[in-house]
């Protein structure tokens, strides 16, 4: 972090203050000599700081930004662009020391961006005066990845895609804190969040969701969560991508439900490889505008949509919603 990095508004606003200090947490992924420090004091719930970039720059669609963040607790980090094409993305830090977070701006593009605003724990008043460990955050190594989206499994948890959270199962915001109700699966063993069975391929995530499809379960055994924000299917979120790791070839199904269990039905796509990660794509664009796809409250995964002669264990991960770009 450059020592001449400028902060607007005298270092912060609404109770947020920022400065550049010697790195007090050197180690792991960040051994920089200097880092940015932000503290959030009692003031406004939107207290933060704006970094002055010292000039305007432009960026392409599907661009992402990375930033290393140190926090001693789990905290959502808002990354907002100022001056040009305005956009903001929130990603949750898990609270495990230095982590590199990735902020994906999707289709946003244009010229004139001249600042980056950072807000930690938007919606909550800070208390750095009485609880400094919980309200002091470090940041460093902000980088732009022109025309490149966040890599799967990289960059923090609970990022946004198509206006909805990325379910990467690395934190509460990334799906582990959601209620996943299993149905039509005999004794309905719960969804578990376990170490990734194979980090060598396209999915280096630490954690994945595990679904055990019972031999005596229905072919359409699955799991539903109602913890996504209520949304309407549109061109920004109608393409769903899911990574799966399976020991058998069978259909994977994705389905949406509204508050009265109305649905246009599931889309089913088979995996084509076994014992390795594969990303499947589910295209719901043909049912955009259908009345039951307004105010969607339920998201359903059928991990092993087939009659089965044996119990099958399926992992799924990195669920994203987007426009297919």
Region(s) of the chain under CATH 2.60.120.200 = 6-145
Q: Where are the beta strands (DSSP E) in 166-229?
A: 181-183, 192-195, 207-213, 222-225
**Is domain 160-322 classified as CATH 2.60.120.260?**
yes
Give the tens place of pLDDT for each residue, 5-58: 577 776 899 999 999 999 999 987 888 999 999 999 999 999 999 998 888 888
Model confidence pLDDT, tens digit, residues 89-100: 888 888 878 888
At 111 the three-state DSSP class reads strand
Q: Which of 233, 295, 229, 256 is nearest to 90 (CA)?
A: 229
Domain boundaries for CATH 2.60.120.260 within the chain: 160-322
So what's the pLDDT on residue 11? 80
pTM, whole model, 2 decimals? 0.57
Q: Give CA–CA dist 238/161, Å, rounded.
A: 11
* 154-194 pLDDT tens trace: 444 444 566 678 898 887 778 888 999 999 999 999 999 99
User: Is CATH 2.60.120.200 the classification given to domain 6-145?
Assistant: yes
Q: Would you say residue 152 has pLDDT above 50? A: no
Q: Are 296 and 230 in contact (CB under 8 A)?
A: yes
Name the DSSP letter for residue 285: G
């Amino acid at each position: 972090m450059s020592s001449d990095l400028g902060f607007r508004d005298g270092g912060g606003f609404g109770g947020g203050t920022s400065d550049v200090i010697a790195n007090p947490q050197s180690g792991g992924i960040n051994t920089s000599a200097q880092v940015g420090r932000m503290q959030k004091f009692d003031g406004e719930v939107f207290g933060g700081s704006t970094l002055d970039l010292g000039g305007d720059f432009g960026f392409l669609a599907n661009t992402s930004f990375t930033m290393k963040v140190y926090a001693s607790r789990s905290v959502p980090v808002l990354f907002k662009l100022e001056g040009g094409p305005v956009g903001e993305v929130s990603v949750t830090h898990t609270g495990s020391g230095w982590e590199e977070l990735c902020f994906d701006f999707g289709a946003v593009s244009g010229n004139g961006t001249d600042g980056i605003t950072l807000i930690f724990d938007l919606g909550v008043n800070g208390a750095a005066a009485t609880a400094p460990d919980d309200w002091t955050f470090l940041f460093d190594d902000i980088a732009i990845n022109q025309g490149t989206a966040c890599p799967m499994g990289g960059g923090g948890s609970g990022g946004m895609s198509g206006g909805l959270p990325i379910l990467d199962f690395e934190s509460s915001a990334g799906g582990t804190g959601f209620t996943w109700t299993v149905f039509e699966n005999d004794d309905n063993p719960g969804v578990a969040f376990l170490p990734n069975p194979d980090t060598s391929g396209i999915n280096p995530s630490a954690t994945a969701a595990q679904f055990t499809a019972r031999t005596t379960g229905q072919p359409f055994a699955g799991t539903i969560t109602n913890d996504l924000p209520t949304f309407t299917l549109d061109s920004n979120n109608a393409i769903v991508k899911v990574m799966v790791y399976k020991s058998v070839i069978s259909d994977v199904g994705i389905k949406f439900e509204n508050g009265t269990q109305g649905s246009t039905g599931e889309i089913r796509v088979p995996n084509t490889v076994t014992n390795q990660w594969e990303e499947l794509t589910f295209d719901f664009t043909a049912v955009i505008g259908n009345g039951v796809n307004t105010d969607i409250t339920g998201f359903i995964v059928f991990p092993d949509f087939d009659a089965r002669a044996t119990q099958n264990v399926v992992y799924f991960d990195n669920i994203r919603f987007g426009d297919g770009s």
